[in-house]
């Protein structure tokens, strides 16, 4: 269950807090709705509960606050707004990536895809999904780790009647299996149909916390829905007769030719229309809202059947007030509604006719119509080991990097630009062999391969903040050392691969164009190769760390460029000063210090690395990486303290 105590948002300037002292409970096995108009503080309450926004108060999820839960995605499934993910990633690839992040088997992605009915769209890109399909994918992401609690912010917003019916039915099944469901709504009638308990918010405070039966009895008002081509004239006549008879009648003009009349009956309105010869296309008893302006959107109506079987048939499109639908003429006998309308009523109202018709519903949580929901049962529970796996962040990062074509396109562009640059430099001349193979003109601070490695490293964290797939449970990309290590390992492997491919491609192109002379390997290739590999790996790591610290791909690439432009001149100036002692004889002393001789001459490679680090570029790269790593650790500790 969920227990919220004293949730209060921080006030801004002289404005009152958006949420002030909100406390409620959402029980397991029930669907709890936070009802309120836009601006009432519904979303702010959810953000305070999920620790996405600073404020006062605390929330317990089955007795533990969210920051005390080791794996929040396995306890709480969240859907706030659209699905956060890269628009070029496929539906299945996105879920498989989240499976690696949550530590669940990869087959879970196919199970939830079948549950939400997206098997046929598993190869579609996220950017091409419609609103309804995006909501289905969001629910799949929330159900991926088999959480006990679902927290959703207006999940049925802008959905069709069929999609909303399916969504609420799926949530009902989750609650029937013992889970906790908390969602926000703006339509009182929708809350009365689909929730077990309704918490009403108004101006950031709790107005009422009621069972759905009590809510429907005290907060909803009966009304008569009238549709006529002469709606203005009929409204004027009804108001005139009410004033004459001194009766309290409220008439609300809605979109098109629809009227909502509070305080009257179908018989009185029908007699008035008959006496004045006004054609009526619809005349039906409905359960209204809490008054004019209580709902942000026109309500989605369904017929409520009482014990005597009274029903006025109406199309689902007619009840929503959508323009462009043909009106149905009123007849003397009730018509049989379409299958969709009947299904909509049965799914949302099973064992719930009490609030609408006056009958007392059976105690306990309501269950959805199994005939309508048998096609999409929830996936079976999964057994997840609580011990953290060191390979889980690595799997996630590999699937994140290979799930879209940005990295492959960047590498291809680097190879093409590098080959063209090498050919032009060879034609112009006056370029050393080592720089020619690296396609590194003297006028540029970095070669194309180093810039590409830095860009790919910056994208490793930049895409996380731009399309935060991991942000649903904690609001920001997790600053964990395991995730950072995985990103550094993948960035290093990518940089090494790019380094070898660039030199090989440049050498092959130079051989094809100019012959074997320009494609020869330099004599001091070990030191040059170590410097080349260290440069690309250092640029990639600088991009990863800078993007993680500043939360931007642009900032990560700027930090990569700042190393040769700013840091290297400073290091060169420091090394150019007068020195009393030098490091002559360092390899010999290093060999004497190491008592045991390393196999395969390992001390030579160690001294080679040391010589690379004492170079101006190597020293500048080392200083930059150390500073960025310290900044990353500092921001990580700061966020944990908060």
pLDDT of residue 124: 93
Query: How many Å apart are CA 225 and CA 614, to the nearest integer?
Result: 83
Residue among 291, 341, 297 nearest 318 (CA): 341
Cβ density class 253-287: b for 16+ within 10 Å, e for less:
eeeebbbbbbebebebbbebbeeeebebbbbbbbb
Q: How far is CA 52 from CA 4, 77, 474, 585, 622, in A?
A: 15, 14, 6, 57, 35
**What confidence tier does 16 reach under pLDDT thresholds 50, 70, 90?**
confident
Check pLDDT > 90 for residue 539.
yes
pLDDT of residue 495: 95
Half-sphere exposure of 515 toward its Cβ, with a 13 Å CA cutoff? 1
Check pLDDT > 60 for residue 610.
yes
Check pLDDT > 80 for residue 108.
yes
pLDDT of residue 543: 94
114: tokens are 């079948």
The end-to-end CA distance of the chain, in Å, is 25
User: Are 183 and 154 spatial neighbours (Cβ–Cβ below 8 Å)?
Assistant: yes
Count of Cβ atoms closer than 10 Å to residue 525 Cβ: 12
Q: Phi and psi for 581 in degrees, rounded to 5?
A: -120, 155
pLDDT of residue 220: 79
**What confidence tier does 611 reach under pLDDT thresholds 50, 70, 90?**
low
pLDDT of residue 600: 52
pLDDT of residue 590: 55
pLDDT of residue 61: 94
pLDDT of residue 290: 54
% residues pLDDT > 70 (the chain):
76
Handedness of CA 385, 390, 393, 394 (dihedral sign): negative
Q: Mean pLDDT check: name the lowest of 286-290, 517-521, 602-606.
A: 602-606
62: left (phi over 0), alpha (psi -120 to 50) or beta: left
Burial classification of residue 148, based on how many CB atoms lie within 10 Å of its CB (0-12 exposed, 13-18 middle, 19 or more buried)? middle
**What confidence tier does 352 reach under pLDDT thresholds 50, 70, 90?**
very low
pLDDT of residue 443: 84
What is the tens place of the pLDDT at every residue in 136-149?
Answer: 999 999 998 889 99
- Edge-to-edge strand ranges of the sheet holding 258-262: 250-253, 258-262, 222-227, 282-287
User: Are 256 and 266 spatial neighbours (Cβ–Cβ below 8 Å)?
Assistant: no
Q: Mean pLDDT check: name the lowest of 73-87, 119-133, 418-432, 463-477.
A: 463-477
What is the tens place of the pLDDT at every residue in 110-168?
Answer: 999 998 989 999 999 999 998 889 989 999 999 988 899 999 999 988 888 888 999 99
Query: How many Å apart are CA 227 and CA 319, to the nearest integer?
Result: 10
pLDDT of residue 30: 95
**What confidence tier does 429 reach under pLDDT thresholds 50, 70, 90?**
confident
Q: Mean pLDDT check: name the lowest of 72-81, 114-123, 406-415, 487-496.
A: 72-81
What is the tens place of the pLDDT at every residue in 355-410?
Answer: 333 333 333 444 434 334 344 577 777 655 444 455 678 888 999 999 999 999 99
pLDDT of residue 384: 52
pLDDT of residue 91: 94
pLDDT of residue 585: 59
Burial classification of residue 450, based on how many CB atoms lie within 10 Å of its CB (0-12 exposed, 13-18 middle, 19 or more buried)? buried
**What confidence tier does 176 reach under pLDDT thresholds 50, 70, 90?**
very high
pLDDT of residue 320: 34
pLDDT of residue 612: 60
Burial classification of residue 532, based on how many CB atoms lie within 10 Å of its CB (0-12 exposed, 13-18 middle, 19 or more buried)? buried
pLDDT of residue 172: 93
pLDDT of residue 45: 93
pLDDT of residue 325: 34
What is the tens place of the pLDDT at every residue in 552-590?
Answer: 899 999 999 998 888 888 877 776 665 555 555 555 655
3-class secondary-structure state, position 282: strand
Average pLDDT, the chain: 78
């Amino acid at each position: 269950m969920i227990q919220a105590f004293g949730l209060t948002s921080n006030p801004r300037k002289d404005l009152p807090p958006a949420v002030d002292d909100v406390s409620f409970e959402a029980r397991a096995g029930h669907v709890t709705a936070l009802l309120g108009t836009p601006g009432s503080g519904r979303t702010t309450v959810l953000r305070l509960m999920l620790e996405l926004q600073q404020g006062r108060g605390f929330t317990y999820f089955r007795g533990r606050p969210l920051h005390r839960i080791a794996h929040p995605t396995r306890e709480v499934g969240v859907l706030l707004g659209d699905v956060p993910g890269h628009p070029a990633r496929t539906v299945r690839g996105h879920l498989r990536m989240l499976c690696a992040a949550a530590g669940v088997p990869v087959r879970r992605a196919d199970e939830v895809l079948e549950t939400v009915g997206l098997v046929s769209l598993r190869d579609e890109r996220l950017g091409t999904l419609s609103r309804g399909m995006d909501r289905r994918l969001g629910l799949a992401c929330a159900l991926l780790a088999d959480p006990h609690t679902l927290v959703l912010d207006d999940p049925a917003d802008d959905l069709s009647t069929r999609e909303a019916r399916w969504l609420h039915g799926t949530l009902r099944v989750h609650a029937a299996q013992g889970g906790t469901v908390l969602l926000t709504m703006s339509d009182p009638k929708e809350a009365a149909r689909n929730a077990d308990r309704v918490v009403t918010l108004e101006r950031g405070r709790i107005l009422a916390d009621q069972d759905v039966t009590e809510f429907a009895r005290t907060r909803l008002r009966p009304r008569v829905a009238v549709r006529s081509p002469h709606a203005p004239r009929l409204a004027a006549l009804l108001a005139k007769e009410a004033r004459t008879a001194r009766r309290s009648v409220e008439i609300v003009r809605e979109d098109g030719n629809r009227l909502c009349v509070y305080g009257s009956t179908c018989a009185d309105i029908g007699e008035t229309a008959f006496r004045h010869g006004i054609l009526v296309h619809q005349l039906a008893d409905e359960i209204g809202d809490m008054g004019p302006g209580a709902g942000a959107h026109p309500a989605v109506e369904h017929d409520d059947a009482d014990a005597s079987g009274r029903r006025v048939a109406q199309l689902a499109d007619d009840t929503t007030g959508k323009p462009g639908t043909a009106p149905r003429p009123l007849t003397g006998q009730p018509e049989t509604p379409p299958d969709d309308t009947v299904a909509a009523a049965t799914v949302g109202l099973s064992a719930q006719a009490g609030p609408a018709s006056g009958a007392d519903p059976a105690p306990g949580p309501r269950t959805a119509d199994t005939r309508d929901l048998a096609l999409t049962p929830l996936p079976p529970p999964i057994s997840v080991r609580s011990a953290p796996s060191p390979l889980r962040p690595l799997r996630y990062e590999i699937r994140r990097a290979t799930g879209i074509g940005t990295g492959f396109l960047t590498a291809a562009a680097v190879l093409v630009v590098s080959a063209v640059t090498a050919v032009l430099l060879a034609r112009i001349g006056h370029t050393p062999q080592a720089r020619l193979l690296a396609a590194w003109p003297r006028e540029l601070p970095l070669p194309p391969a180093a810039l590409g490695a830095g860009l790919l490293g910056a994208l490793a964290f930049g895409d996380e903040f731009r399309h935060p797939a991991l942000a649903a449970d904690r609001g920001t990309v997790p600053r964990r050392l395991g995730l950072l290590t995985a990103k550094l390992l993948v960035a290093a492997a990518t940089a090494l691969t790019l380094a070898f491919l660039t030199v090989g491609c440049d050498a092959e192109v130079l051989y094809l164009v100019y012959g074997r002379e320009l494609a020869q390997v330099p004599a001091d290739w070990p030191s040059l190769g170590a410097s080349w590999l260290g440069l690309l790996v250092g640029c990639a790591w600088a991009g990863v760390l800078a993007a993680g610290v500043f939360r931007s791909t642009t900032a990560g690439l700027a930090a990569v460029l700042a190393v040769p432009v700013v840091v290297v001149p400073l290091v060169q100036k420091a090394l150019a000063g007068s020195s009393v002692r030098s490091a002559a004889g360092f390899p010999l002393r290093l060999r004497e210090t190491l008592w045991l001789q390393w196999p395969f001459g390992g001390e030579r490679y160690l001294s080679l690395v040391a010589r690379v680090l004492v170079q101006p570029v190597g020293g500048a790269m080392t200083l930059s990486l150390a500073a960025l790593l310290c900044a990353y650790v500092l921001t990580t500790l700061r966020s944990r303290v908060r």
